[in-house]
Amino acid sequence: MYDLIIIGGGPAGLTAGIYAQRARLRTVLIEREMVGGQIAVSDVIENYPGFSSISGAELVQRFEEHAKGFGLEIKAAEVEGIGVEGNIKVVRTSEGELRAKAVIVATGAKPRKLGVKGERELLGKGVSYCATCDGPFFRGQRVCVVGGGDTAVKEAAYLAKLASKVYLVHRRDKLRAEKILQEKVMKTENIEILWSHILKEIKGENGVEAVVLEDLKTGSQKTVEVEGAFIFVGINPTTDFVDVEKDDGGFIKTNQRMETSVEGIFAAGDCRTTPLRQVSTAVGDGAIAAFVAEGYVEGFDG
């Protein structure tokens, strides 16, 4: 039996792994895809202290090397559920069951879909949720970016370096993104912000050819020719497999000690209810979760 099972290998999970190893807890980290989480596909990170500019891939590679340097065991598997047998947590995975005294859920979140016509049909044919992955395919072409948060604005700035024209489509007349990111897109010549517009449909046969937009102020619709449609309208947490108290969006509720409604199950990073989802906050959550879990494991009465 393990002392601690960490589910998810993004910044929160890897940080929890570093702290757990240093606390000499018998720990395993389970990750279903590649280690790194969402940040691994982020083009550039400019607000993680100590690195004025670093790619997401390089930052997570450093996190992983750091955690492995302390001997963290990392297993590739998909977690299907967490059962509770007395005080013991039973983590059911695609590779079998694992048991532990405590569990930290650090499974992050996935991009939300718009649910419009053409979005699913043209996925991978011009519709994308990852500018770093797909941006280079749109060199010299026209793209639209939907959303007004940090992701949309940041990725619009990145895409403007490759595409000939970027339409930033936002449903309000004010962006939600950090001010410094807003200033950047406002200053970029080939970005046109379409305020108070929503995307109604993505058109195309074998690839994206145009998007139909609606002006919410006038109710009028127009078709704009683009070869790519990038959608960044927020995130959904990956928390279905765990039965603890959650908010309306499915994010796990914790207290400031990262404790969930079930004793011995902790949550850290983007998957929990929190006012800010950054690498720096995920790292802080992971450290607290591992520290509190250590105390829980020490006082554990099986």
> Shortest Cβ distance from residue 114 to ligand NAP (Å)?
6
Instruction: Give catalytic status of residue 130 as yes or no.
Output: yes
> Shortest Cβ distance from residue 61 to ligand NAP (Å)?
18
276 binds ligand NAP (CB under 6 A): yes
Region from 75-83, 84-92, 186-194, 273-281 binding ligand NAP, contact rule CB under 6 A: 273-281
* H helical segments located in the chain: 11-22, 56-69, 131-134, 150-159, 179-187, 279-298
**Measured from the CB atom, is 167 or 296 closer to ligand NAP?**
167
User: What's the sign of the alpha-carbon dihedral 248, 252, 256, 262?
Assistant: positive
Q: Which of 133, 173, 240, 247 is catalytic?
A: 133
**Measured from the CB atom, is 85 or 276 closer to ligand NAP?**
276
Cα–Cα distance for residue pair 71/47, rounded to 1 Å: 28
CA 75 and chain centroid, separation = 20
Quick count: other Cβ atoms within 10 Å of Cβ 84? 14
Contacting ligand NAP within 11-50 (CB under 6 A): 47
Residue with tokens 């994010």: 251
Contacting ligand NAP within 160-199 (CB under 6 A): 171-172, 176, 178, 198
Interface characters, 223-262, with ligand NAP (x: CB under 6 A)? ---------xxxx---------------------------
90 binds ligand NAP (CB under 6 A): no
Cα–Cα distance for residue pair 118/30, rounded to 1 Å: 35
Residue with tokens 């000690």: 257
Cα–Cα distance for residue pair 240/118, rounded to 1 Å: 27
Q: Which of 3, 134, 270, 285 is catalytic?
A: 134
Q: Which two tokens stand for residue 4?
A: 């601690």
**Measured from the CB atom, is 142 or 277 closer to ligand NAP?**
277
Instruction: Give catalytic status of residue 133 as yes or no.
Output: yes
Tell me if 255 sits within 8 A of 288, measured CB to CB. no
Q: Residues in the chain, how many?
A: 302
**Measured from the CB atom, is 264 or 269 closer to ligand NAP?**
269
- Residue with smallest beta-carbon separation from ligand NAP: 149
Q: 48: helix, coil or strand?
A: strand
278 binds ligand NAP (CB under 6 A): yes
> Shortest Cβ distance from residue 168 to ligand NAP (Å)?
10
Interface characters, 129-158, with ligand NAP (x: CB under 6 A)? -----------------xxxxxxx-x----
In angstroms, what CA-CA distances link 202 with 128, 153, 224?
12, 20, 10
Instruction: Give catalytic status of residue 43 as yes or no.
Output: no
Q: 270: helix, coil or strand?
A: helix
114 binds ligand NAP (CB under 6 A): yes
CA 37 and chain centroid, separation = 7
> Shortest Cβ distance from residue 256 to ligand NAP (Å)?
18
Tell me if 251 sits within 8 A of 90, measured CB to CB. no
**Residues identified as active-site:** 130, 133-134
Residues that bind ligand NAP (CB under 6 A): 47, 114, 146-152, 154, 171-172, 176, 178, 198, 232-235, 276-278
